[in-house]
Amino acid sequence: MSEDTKTLEEKFRRQNKSCFILGASGETGKVLLQELLERNIFSKITLIGRRQLSFEDKAYENLIQEVVDFEKLDDYAAAFKGHDVGYCCLGTTRAKAGADGFIRVDHDYVLKSAELAKAGGCSHFHLESSRGADKKSSFLYLKVKGQVEAEIEALGFDRLAIYRPGVLLVDRQESRPGEWLARKFFSAFSAVCSNSMSISIQAVAKAMVSNTLLQPEQHAEILENKDIASLGKVNGK
């Protein structure tokens, strides 16, 4: 870690800010939480999800957990109040939830959460999206991702960071044969050349945390796969 990064972390830490994570039980969310705990830049971290999560490590003992019903989020507006920064790693797949279920989670839940966060005083929102997100796309997945990006940008956060990673290189606990084959291919491919199509889950998490420390001129920014890789270099390599 460079001295510049250490200085940024210490400066941010002194601001005594709090954050919340949506989707902390998912692949990106789990690694993001680990990264935030390790770098210790927030005075308070809240997990917002549909169930209570269990942790054995003492590093997790000071976390606050808010259990909500995503179908009735307006009833849980208090869970979204008082946070400076929000991280959204919420998502599912069409194969797992069906078309309607996918739209409900990746659009409806995400957008409503962002609305409540904004109303609750959150000024800085980080959204995990997808490479190729486009509200005009003919592909449902990319269209929904693009739509929710645009609608969250319209909410007017003081700062919005949208991350569009490619294929996530991670060993999921659940079995998704198609994704497993894609990960194996891109992992091998990226080992011999620069690859804009894939990225490790650790790099995404590191990029999200590192980007939190920065102060870009624009209020809203989109980080494509190569931008995420640059910010999320593991151990500076």
Q: Token pair for residue 168?
A: 């996530």
233 is a catalytic site residue: no
Angle at 128 between CA 124 and CA 131, to 5 degrees: 130
Spot the catalytic one: 17, 44, 141, 143.
141
Catalytic residue among 145, 163, 206, 237: 145
In the residue annotation, 60 being an active-site residue is answered as no
Distance CA 37, CA 29 (A): 12
Phi, psi of 181 (to 5 degrees): -65, -40
| Distance between start and end Cα atoms, the chain | 10
CB 113 within 8 A of CB 74: no
Q: SS3 of 17, please?
A: coil
Looking at the annotation, which residues are catalytic? 141, 145
